[in-house]
A = this chain, B = another copy of it.
């Protein structure tokens, strides 16, 4: 990791290095263990330096949450591009990769969804990113409806149901509530597939 190389640097892209270092500590020590002062010291600057790039600690955390949302947006985009004209498979891949991303980045996910940040009084970047992250799912549902695959109910309710299922499963997993059910990667995959099929076909017996 880049600590001090040849010489102490007095400028550069401290902003991005702060974000990277923050991500690092977040994964290692969790949100509680993350302090701006430690970040600054680790990067060889004074503890006041971060405030030239972030108004406060929250603004740094928001920057990380934005990255998380952008990653989820990518998950949606990839799922669509990889399976053109197959909304069912698109939905499946979106779901499984969503769960996988959250499982592998629990600290970022908790930052995005754990109530630490407020979408009301946050910067415009986070507002934008968090809005956009639902977009891919809506598109999939919409195309699936048009091709007569999905039920003809309002797109929003359908999309939210799918999102809720996937999101809920993800959050339950990183919350540790399902630790028995997802002790291995294979089990997680199996559970995801199982839930996905129940979501598609419903809980009720057909009549």
Contacts and interface: CB of A to CB of B under 8 A. Distances in A.
A16 interface: no
A201 B198 contact: no
Scoring A174, A198, A205 by chain B CB atoms within 10 A of each residue's CB, the highest score goes to A198
Contact of A151 (B32, B120, B203): B203
B202 A202 contact: yes
A176 interface: yes
A107 interface: yes
Contacts of A151: 198, 201-205
Nearest to A167: B168
Interface of A: 30-32, 88, 91, 106-107, 109-110, 112-116, 118-120, 130, 134, 144, 148-154, 156-158, 160-172, 174-179, 181, 191, 194-195, 198-206
